[in-house]
A and B are shown apart, each in its own frame.
Chain A
Amino acid sequence: MRRTGPILIAVIGLLALIIDFWPNLTLPAFSAGETSRRIETKLGLDLQGGLKVEYRVLPQLDRTPTLADVQVVKDIIERRVNATGVSEPVVVTSGTDRVVVEVPGISDTAAIRRLVGQTGSLQFVPIPPNTTPPVDGTPLDMTNAPACPTSGNPTVPCVLFGGEELGSANVGSDPQGRRTVNFALKETGKNLFASWTQSHTTQNFAIVLDNVVISAPVINEAIPGGNVQISSGGLGGFPRAEAEEMVNVLRFGSLPFPVEELASDTIDPSLGQEFLNRSLLAGGIAIMLVILFMLIHYRLPGVVASFALLYYAVLVLALFRIIPVTLTLAGIAGFVLSVGMAVDANILIFERTKEELRSGKSLPQAIEAGFARAWNSILDSNVSSLITATILYLFGSSVIQGFALVLIIGVLASMFTAIVVTRSILRIIVAKEWARKAWLYGVTDAEFTARPTTRSGLRREVRRV
C-alpha cells in the first residue's frame, strides 16, 4: 500500500484530468447494443434552457395503466418527439404513471406539446391503383381523406377503417422461416378488409400513423379471415428491429391510454446560462474560501488537505462526465455543499493528530493514530449522509434525484480523497526533515517533542481538560 498508494493516486488523478479536459473524448461501446458516447458535461434543462413537460398516463375504462403500459406510452411519445427533429430530446418514465419529456434549447414549444399530447390516429389506407405506392416513412396527408367507396377503385387515398379495428399484432414467420408481421382484425374490419382484398388484389394498401406511412404492402390475394401477414422480400424476411417496431406501431400507434399534461416548464437558454455562470462563480469562491481556511487553520496538513480538495473537485467532475450525471441547479448546489463536507474528514483527522501529538506521540505515530482513531466517526457520519441521500435518490422526483446522486458521488469520492490521498501524501512529507517543525502543525515546540510513553501522555491530557 505504501508503495502502490501514490502510484494509484497519480494514475486516477491523471485519468480524471484527461476525462475533464481532453476535448472530444468518446467512450467506446461496451456491448453490441450500445453506441459510443462522447464524454461531456451534461447540463439539465434549467441550466441550458428548453422545454420540460410532465405527463400523467390516465386510466381508461376502469383499466389502470401498469408500468409496462407506461413504458409503451413513453416509447410512443419518444417516437413522436424524435419525429419533430429537435436535437437530443429526453423522454423518461417517472414514478408509477408519469412520462417526462425534456427538449433542450429553443424550440416551438406549442407544436411539440400539441404533437406529443395527441392520442394518435392509425389508419388503413388503400392506395389508388394508378399511383406509385408510397415509400415507408414518407408523409401522406390524410387530414381530409374520404371514406373508401364500397365498390370500384378510389381516385385518392381513402380511409378503409381506423386503428380501432385492429385486434392484435405480433412478429411471426412464413413457412420459409422468414420473419413477418402478423395482425388480426376485429369483426367490422375483417369484413371490410375481406371484401376489399377480394376486388383489389395486386393493389397496394398503406398503414398510416399520424399522416406518416408506416408500411405499404401489396395485396397478394384475398384475405377473408381477418388474419393478415405482411412479409418482406429480404433473405430472412423483416429485420427483427423493423418487425418489432412495426408491431409496436400497429399495437400502440394510438396511445393505449390518454395522457394528461401535469406540468410544463419553459426556460430561456439565456436564463439557464445566467444560472450556470452564477453557480460556477459561487462554487469557485467556495472552494477558494475553504482552501484559505484550511491553510490558515491547519498549516502544512492544510496544504495537503487543499490539494486533496482540488483533487476531489477534478475527480468528481470526471465522474459526472463519465457516468454521466445530468447537472441541474440543485445538483451544482449539492456539489458546492459537498466541497464543504469533503474537508470534514480531514478536519477530524488533523484535530485527532494534534491531540495525539500533545499526548506525546512522535509525528508519524500521531498522524497514523489520527487517521485510525478518526475513522469510526468519519465512516458513521458519511453513512448517515448516504442513507438520506439514497432515500432521496430512490423516492424523489427527477430534480431531487439529480441532487441526491451528486451528493452520493460527493460523499464516496471525498472518503477516497480525504483519507487515501491525504494519508499517502502526508506519509511522504513527514519523512522529510524540513517538515518536522512544530509550527507547521499548529502545536507548540514542547508538545511537538516526542515523549517516551503514550500512557503518561494520555493521563496528562486527561488532567489538563
Chain B
Amino acid sequence: MFDIVGRKKWFFLFSAIITIPGLIFILLTPITNGQAGLKFSIDYTGGTEWSIRFADTAVTSDQVREALDELGQEDVTVTHTGRGFFDIRLSGLDLREIPTPAPSSSSGPSSSGSPSPSGSPSPAATPASTAEPAPSGSPGPSGSPIPGRANTVPTTGELGEIAAGLQERFGPIAEQAKLSSIGAVVSADLVQQAILLIFIGSLGILAWITLRFRDAKMGATALVALLHDVIVVLGVFAILGTFLNVKIDGLFVTAMLTVIGFSVHDTIVVFDRIRENRARHVGEPFSEIVNHSILQTFGRSITTSFTVVLTLTTLLLFGGAATQEFVLALLLGIISGTYSSIFNAAPLLVVWQEWEDRRKGRISTPGTTRRATA
C-alpha cells in the first residue's frame, strides 16, 4: 500500500517549491511598482484597446509601434493577430474625453420616448380647474434610425489624431474590429472588489465545510488547500506577466472564485471518505484511516478533475484568444486544486490531529476531561 501520509513532508516540500517562486513574483508587483510581477490589463489600469486592419497588408507591428512612438504615445503594446489585425493597447489614453462635436443645426432625433396616443385632444394649460380642449390629432412616436455609418474609425480627439497619423504613414485603415476604452476610476474599484470577493468566497467555503463535517479542522485545512491554489494561479500569472507580459483582466477574479469553488470538490470527496472510514474503523490510527481514504478515492479525484481539464484544454486550443488567459487560470487552478486536495489537505489534517493528540496526551492525565471536539 502506497503511503501518502507517511511521505507528507515531501508533498509539502513540493507545494513550497511551486508556491514560493510565485509568491516572490507576486510580491515583486508592489515592490517594483508594476514593472515586474502581475501585469494588469486596461480593465484595471485604464486605457484604450484598439483593433484595426490596414488596407496595406505589408505593415508590420514594429512599424506601427514606431509610428505610435513618434505620435507621442508612451507605453504602447502592438500585437499582430490573425486576419491582418493589429491589437493596439494605449495605456496613456482613455477615450472619455472624446470631444463632443458641435451640435449640428439640423433637427435632432425625430421622436422622443414620450407616448402620445393618436386622436387624443391636445392639452390646455390653466391656473384654475377649467379645461377647454382644442381637438387635434397627434401621431404616435416613430423612430428613425441614425444612418448606419459602421463603427467608424475615430476622426476627432486624441485617438482621431493618432488614427490620422497612422493613416498618413500606412495608408487607410480598412477595418476596425474593436475599440475599448476604460477610465482609471473603474480600476481602483476592481482590485479592491477582487480581493474582497476572494476573501468572502474563501470564508463561505470554510463555513460550509465546517458546518457539513462538523469539524473546524477539516474546514481550516480545506481553506489552506484553497489558498495554495490561489497562490499557485496568481504566482504563475506573476511569472508570465514578468517574462511574457501576460496580463490579468477583469475576468481573472471570476476564474479565481471558480477555482475556489471547484478545487474544494476533491477535498470534499476525500474528507467524506475519511469521515466514513473513521466511523467504520474505530481504533485504527488516524494517519492510516486518512491514507486508506486517499487511496480509495484517488482514482475518482483524478477522473473528475480530468473531465474538467479535458473541456478547459479544448477551450484553450479552439476557443480563440479572447478567453485564453481566463481559461488558463481556470486550468491551473483546477490542476493545483486536485493536487492540494490529495497531497496537502488530507495530510495536513493528520498533522493537526496528531499534534492535538500529543498535546492532549501531555496535558491531560487519565480520567480528566476529554476534548469535546473529537
Contact = CB atoms under 8 A, between A and B. Distances in A.
A268 B176 contact: yes
Given A241-B115, A267-B178, A229 B125 contact: yes
A413 interface: no
A115 B112 CA distance: 12
Contacts of A215: 123
A462 B101 CA distance: 80
B240 interface: no
Interface stretch (B14-22, B198-206, B347-355): B198-206
Contact of B146 (A85, A210, A219, A396): A85
B175 A268 contact: yes
B105 A144 contact: yes
Contacts of B103: 143
Interface string A106-118: 1111111111011
B132 A274 contact: no
Interface string A84-97: 11110000000000
B218 to A, nearest CB: 11
Nearest to A345: B304
Given A222-B127, A239-B117, A232 B197 contact: no
B123 to A, nearest CB: 4
B268 A282 contact: no
A341 interface: yes
B110 A289 contact: no
Nearest to A118: B100
A187 interface: no
B255 to A, nearest CB: 9
A384 B205 contact: yes
B285 interface: no
Contacts of B171: none
A225 B127 CA distance: 8
A450 interface: no
Contacts of A265: 178-181
Interface in A350-406: 351, 355, 373, 376-377, 380-381, 383-389, 391-392, 395-397, 399-400, 403-404
B177 A271 contact: yes
Interface string A244-273: 011001000000000011111111101100
A210 B101 CA distance: 16
A377 B268 contact: yes
B300 interface: yes
B294 to A, nearest CB: 11
A330 interface: yes
| Chain B interface bracket (under 10, 10 to 19, 20 to 34, 35 or more) | 35 or more
A149 interface: no
A233 B318 contact: no
A83 B208 CA distance: 50
B139 interface: yes
Interface in B294-340: 295-296, 299-300, 303-304, 306-312, 314-315, 317-320, 322-323, 326-327, 330
Contacts of B361: none
B261 interface: yes
Interface string A330-351: 1001101101110110011001
A385 B261 contact: yes
B31 interface: no
A129 B319 CA distance: 67
A193 B193 CA distance: 52
A86 B98 CA distance: 21
A41 to B, nearest CB: 18
Nearest to A219: B125
B33 to A, nearest CB: 24
A79 B307 contact: no
Interface in A95-145: 106-115, 117-118, 133, 135-141, 143-144
B262 interface: yes
Given A109-B152, A391-B197, A275 B327 contact: no
10 contacts: A78-B113, A79-B114, A85-B145, A136-B122, A137-B141, A228-B127, A231-B124, A231-B126, A286-B311, A391-B197
Top 9 closest A-B pairs, CB basis? A233-B133, A85-B143, A233-B121, A388-B261, A340-B308, A79-B113, A340-B311, A231-B131, A136-B116
